[in-house]
Amino acid sequence: MKTKANLYFELPELTYYVQRNITVRNGVEIDMPDIGMVNRSYRVWIETSTKIKYLKNRFGGTNSAVDKEEFVWIKLKSKEFNRG
C-alpha cells in the first residue's frame, strides 16, 4: 500500500530538515530517499497521517518510542529540504 509521508532529519550540527510528500510503501519503504541525508543524520523520523516512527535512530534503535513533545519542536524547527 502506497501513502504519502514527511521525513524529518536531525543532522550532527543539530539542524533539522523536512522532506514533504515522499511516497512510502508498507510504512517504511521509501521511493527515492536522499541517502546522503539519511547517512549524515543522527535521527530520521517518518510521519504519515496515522503514525510517527523512527526510520533511523543512532541513540535508541528504530523500535524506540517517539517522544511526541520533542517531535512537535522538531517539526517547528525544521527547514524545507529541496534536492538540487
pLDDT tens digits, one per residue of 9-63: 999 888 888 888 777 665 555 655 567 788 889 999 989 888 999 989 998 889 9
The predicted model gives 63-72 an average pLDDT of 94
Q: Are 54 and 66 in contact (CB under 8 A)?
A: yes
Q: Which pLDDT value is given to residue 74?
A: 93
Q: Give the C-alpha distances (Å, rounded to integers) separating 41 from 16, 50, 59.
A: 9, 24, 11
Closest-CA residue to 22 (of 39, 9, 40)? 9
pTM: 0.84
Q: Which pLDDT value is given to residue 34?
A: 67
Q: Indicate the SS3 state at residue 38.
A: helix
